[in-house]
Amino acid sequence: MEQVLTGTKQGSIKQLLASTEYDREVTVRGWVRHRRGSKGVFFVHLNDGSTIQNIQVVVNEENTNENVLNQISVGACLQVNGNLVASQGAGQSSEVQATEVTILGPADPNGYPIQPKKHSMEFLRENAHLRMRTNTFSAVFRIRHAAAYAIHKYYNDRGFYYLHTPIITGSDAEGAGEMFQVTTLPLGNPPLDDQGAIDFKQDFFGQATNLSVSGQLQGELGAMGLGLIYTFGPTFRAENSNTTRHLAEFWMIEPEMAFYEQEDNHNLAEDFLKYLIRYVLEHCKDDLKFLDERFIKENNSKPTNERSDMGLIEKLEFVIANDFARVSYTEAINILLNSKPHKKKKFKFPVEWGIDMQSEHERYLVEKHFKKPVIVYDYPREIKAFYMKQNEGEEKGRETVRAMDILVPGIGEIIGGSQREDNLERLMQRMTEVGIPHEELDWYLDIRRFGSAPHSGFGLGFERFILFVTGMANIRDVIPFPRTPGNARF
Ligand code: 4AD
Ligand code: MG
């Protein structure tokens, strides 16, 4: 590892803990996680975020100013000069015998909310500005960083180009209408046109605009010139879903590949997911071990019928060791129709060909039936976006498109994608059917007009992936500052 320039001359706490160059003068800086004292000696656990491990600092009451001693409390930030020695205590490799302690920033013990005890996730969400100082959240965000890096590495190593697609757009890629508007028009008194509607011609961009719900449409333009591209950026959906799996602002990775057909798309998505899991298993061992223990504790406190039968690390290793199941939507519906919960009327929502599967259906397929990740493909045309490639020669009323969703245990949908409609006439016809004016997406149609080619892609919800690898239960706890209905604090 490179020498870290911030923190200490000798490197981070992570580096000091790994060092066996003892009996040398070092400086450490970090936040107090824990302190305990006995017989004139204080043991202070310092953490600087470089690792989940704390370094133990031994402070001798005799050679430390009383005022300083009093300010060594949980949450305070300290600089310690001292001697690096092999640790006497079990489980620690090295520790620091302090010669000089400086309080960089005290933390009033009566005011500092994050104490060394179990806090509820709700409480920590209300203190999102301080929750990075807990073991759980620092582990989650270190893993989030590692996964983001691995995503770039995966695509870069395979010849994909990172394409930056716009955040402000004039189109609704998913056609779901769940968009945040972007405007500089005065809200109380907007200019009106002849029909009395808001005149967006007078708006900043001369047209109505919104925050992007997906970079896919522009991603397709990229793939039709650069061949293989991916996007990785913030995505906005104004859906009023107060669930543990929805955010109003989330991050999505969207690869788009020229010349890929449906099955190539499935293969890439499965390989990509497994690579990311393997990367986290290899590079985030300490953090995963901590989260694994946490997961097992939480799991054991759940009612038996809701328990996962594997630990977190066990589940991740299982996922990379086994092929994903692959079934068509029609096969999936048949499995559901023949299932116990359907026959015993235990599903809240009805099951029949044509439904948009609810999460109870997806979770039955993944957790009860296949017991591993599942790729479901060839969905009914009516429930999917206009851009998906239509399958040919199907019975009327049973038309399908080359869509795919990847479902994983504990979460449900983690990836959505498809082969794209590359036939100009069929695409235009579908747009007419669902009411999208052709002139609005003229540029999108042009890539079918000029040099059209088969192409495919998918979107991975980054936070859903982080939920999966960390074993956290709520999507609000895997993004530093969650945006959900009614909540944009911090
Ligand atoms: O299935 P979706 O809507 O697909 C698309 O947006 C396509 N344009 C992707 C493509 O083909 N390029 O979204 C893709 C994924 C979902 O599977 C889910 O993991 C995540 O994005 N996602 C959300 N994550 C958090 N909060 C939300 N509100 C999400 N909506 C979708
Ligand atoms: Mg989807």
Does residue 241 or residue 261 have the better pLDDT? Answer: 261
**Are 93 and 167 members of one domain?**
no
Question: Once rounded to an integer, what is the mean pLDDT over residues 392-412?
Answer: 95
For residue 378, give the 3-state DSSP assignment: strand
**Are 220 and 262 members of one domain?**
yes
Ligand 1 centroid, distance to 75 Cα (angstroms): 38
Question: Once rounded to an integer, what is the mean pLDDT over residues 2-12?
Answer: 56
pLDDT digits (tens, 9 = 90+) for 280-294: 999 999 999 999 999
Give the pLDDT band (50/70/90) at residue 173: confident
Main-chain phi, psi angles of 32, to 5 degrees: -75, 125
Q: b/e per residue, 171-210, with b = 16+ CB within 10 A? A: bbbbbeebbeebeebeeeeeeeeeeeeeebeebeeeeebb
399 secondary structure, DSSP code: -
The verdict on the CB of residue 233 being under 6 Å from ligand 1 is: no
What pLDDT score was predicted for residue 174? 84
**Are 83 and 170 members of one domain?**
no
Atom of ligand 1 nearest to the CA of 465: 19
CATH of the domain at 360: 3.30.930.10
The verdict on the CB of residue 461 being under 6 Å from ligand 1 is: yes
**Are 247 and 294 members of one domain?**
yes
**Are 137 and 112 members of one domain?**
no
What pLDDT score was predicted for residue 90? 67
What pLDDT score was predicted for residue 5? 45
Give the pLDDT band (50/70/90) at residue 177: confident
What pLDDT score was predicted for residue 125? 94
CATH of the domain at 48: 2.40.50.140
pLDDT digits (tens, 9 = 90+) for 95-146: 999 999 999 999 999 999 998 889 999 999 999 999 999 999 999 999 999 9
Q: Name the average pLDDT for the chain.
A: 94
The verdict on the CB of residue 455 being under 6 Å from ligand 1 is: no
| Count of structural domains within the chain | 2
Q: Is residue 196 part of a domain?
A: no
- What does the angle CA 135 – CA 293 – CA 315 come to, to the nearest 5 degrees? 120
pTM of the model: 0.96
The verdict on the CB of residue 237 being under 6 Å from ligand 1 is: yes
Q: Is residue 451 part of a domain?
A: yes
pLDDT digits (tens, 9 = 90+) for 471-480: 999 999 999 9
pLDDT digits (tens, 9 = 90+) for 318-358: 999 999 999 999 999 999 999 999 999 999 999 999 999 99
For residue 483, pLDDT beyond 90: yes
**Are 101 and 245 members of one domain?**
no
Token readout for 117 is 């005890």
For residue 3, pLDDT beyond 50: no
**Are 351 and 298 members of one domain?**
yes
Highest mean pLDDT among 3-7, 14-18, 374-378, 390-394: 374-378
Q: Cα–Cα distance between 305 and 300 in angstroms, integer? A: 11
Q: Is residue 282 part of a domain?
A: yes
Dihedral sign (CA 311, 316, 322, 323)? positive
For residue 8, pLDDT beyond 70: no
Give the pLDDT band (50/70/90) at residue 10: low
Q: Which ligand is nearest to the CA of 414?
A: 1
Mutational test site, ligand 1, from 229, 252, 253, 487, max ligand atoms within 8 Å of CB: 252
pLDDT digits (tens, 9 = 90+) for 148-167: 999 999 999 999 999 999 99
Q: Cα–Cα distance between 319 and 317 in angstroms, integer? A: 5
**Are 27 and 169 members of one domain?**
no
**Are 270 and 349 members of one domain?**
yes
What pLDDT score was predicted for residue 247? 97
Ligand 1 centroid, distance to 416 Cα (angstroms): 6
Token readout for 404 is 């795919």
**What is the amino acid identity at position 461?**
G
**Are 24 and 138 members of one domain?**
no
**Are 236 and 360 members of one domain?**
yes
Q: Is residue 6 part of a domain?
A: no
The verdict on the CB of residue 381 being under 6 Å from ligand 1 is: no
Q: Is residue 449 part of a domain?
A: yes
What pLDDT score was predicted for residue 92? 67
Q: Any alpha helices (H) in 187-311, and if so which ranges?
A: 216-226, 262-283, 285-300
Ligand 2 centroid, distance to 406 Cα (angstroms): 9
Ligand 2 centroid, distance to 477 Cα (angstroms): 21
Q: Is residue 484 part of a domain?
A: no
Q: Is residue 487 part of a domain?
A: no
What pLDDT score was predicted for residue 91? 65
The verdict on the CB of residue 413 being under 6 Å from ligand 1 is: yes
Percentage, residues of the chain above pLDDT 90: 90
What pLDDT score was predicted for residue 484? 96
Ligand 1 centroid, distance to 40 Cα (angstroms): 57
How long, in residues, is the chain?
A: 490
**Are 401 and 268 members of one domain?**
yes
What pLDDT score was predicted for residue 2? 47
Does residue 431 or residue 8 have the better pLDDT? Answer: 431
Q: Cα–Cα distance between 94 and 463 in angstroms, integer? A: 36
Which domain covers residue 220, as residue numbers? Answer: 133-178+213-477
What pLDDT score was predicted for residue 38? 79
Q: Is residue 186 part of a domain?
A: no
